[in-house]
Amino acid sequence: GAGVSQTPSNKVTEKGKYVELRCDPISGHTALYWYRQSLGQGPEFLIYFQGTGAADDSGLPNDRFFAVRPEGSVSTLKIQRTERGDSAVYLCASSWTGNTEAFFGQGTRLTVV
Amino acid sequence: EDKVVQSPLSLVVHEGDTVTLNCSYEVTNFRSLLWYKQEKKAPTFLFMLTSSGIEKKSGRLSSILDKKELFSILNITATQTGDSAVYLCAVEARVETSYDKVIFGPGTSLSVIP
């Protein structure tokens, strides 16, 4: 695609529910990143995929967060038993490899009420 | 622990003013420093700096890196209301041979008023 696409753009969910956030990277980009950005803060690294595998998941805050990229393209970030503190903008970025310029999607604004 | 610090955290200026945004860092295996502009949601790339003392310039924006003192500045001259945004500084740190981790600072929120 022309750019990184994230869906939905906004998601409101109730505390305790399960949510999935989707990222479609730029076609051909092997590296994919998820970040979380809370109000007034910079993006915080969550997880990095190289191809289908999670090469670095050290930023996932706890075991309620999980991400997959089964075919090395689209990725889904999954959050179980959501909490109000999970409310943030979730940004996805992709690049040709793990050390070239990354392009960001528009993000998904998650609000847990 | 790797960290990126930006100052000021917020700034309000009048159109036509010149601003300087600061970024300092402490990382292991530094690779490059990046500046992004963030309006609404998606950060958009401005500059990548890898060498000390070489100014990168794009229109009214310019940036320079000092690898000895571990900081960078982003200058914006003759500011316009369209420059209002959050400016993010990020540092790439080499983790493995095929992977650079990007650590972001908190951003500087710039508001340019007419």
| Domain assignment present for B49 | yes
Interatomic CA distance for residues A94 and A33, integer angstroms: 6
| Domain assignment present for B113 | no
Arithmetic mean of pLDDT, A83-88: 96
Bridge pairing between strands B108-113 and B10-14: parallel
Q: How confident is the model at residue B98 (pLDDT cuts 50, 70, 90)?
A: low
Please state, rounded to an integer, the average pLDDT across all residues of chain B: 93
Whether chain B has a CB inside 8 Å of the CB on A97: the answer is yes
pLDDT in tens, A45-57: 999 999 888 888 9
Chain B: closest CA distance from residue A90 (Å): 9
Please state, rounded to an integer, the average pLDDT across all residues of chain A: 93
Q: How many inter-chain contacts (A to B, CB under 8 Å) are there?
A: 63
Q: Is the pLDDT of residue B89 over 70?
A: yes
SS3 B82: helix
Q: Is the pLDDT of residue B44 over 60?
A: yes
Choose among A45, A89, A97: nearest Cβ to B102.
A45
Arithmetic mean of pLDDT, B43-52: 92
Instruction: Answer whether A45 sits within 8 Å of B94, measured CB to CB.
Output: no
Say yes or no: domain A5-108 is CATH 3.30.70.20.
Answer: no
Q: Is the pLDDT of residue A1 over 60?
A: no
Interatomic CA distance for residues A61 and A86, integer angstroms: 10
Q: Is the pLDDT of residue A99 over 90?
A: no
What CATH number corresponds to the domain at position B67? 2.60.40.10
Whose tokens are 């910079």? That residue is A42
Choose among A99, A106, A107: nearest Cβ to B98.
A99
Task: Give the pLDDT of residue B96.
Answer: 72
Instruction: Answer whether B106 sits within 8 Å of A56, measured CB to CB.
Output: no
Instruction: Answer whether A109 sits within 8 Å of B43, measured CB to CB.
Output: no
Query: How many domains are there within chain B?
Result: 1
Task: Give the pLDDT of residue B97.
Answer: 67
Whose tokens are 């917020």? That residue is B10
Residue B26: domain span: 3-108
Choose among B31, B43, B100: nearest Cβ to A104.
B43
Arithmetic mean of pLDDT, A76-100: 92
pLDDT in tens, B51-78: 899 999 999 999 999 999 999 999 999 9
Ordered by start, the domain boundaries in chain A are 5-108
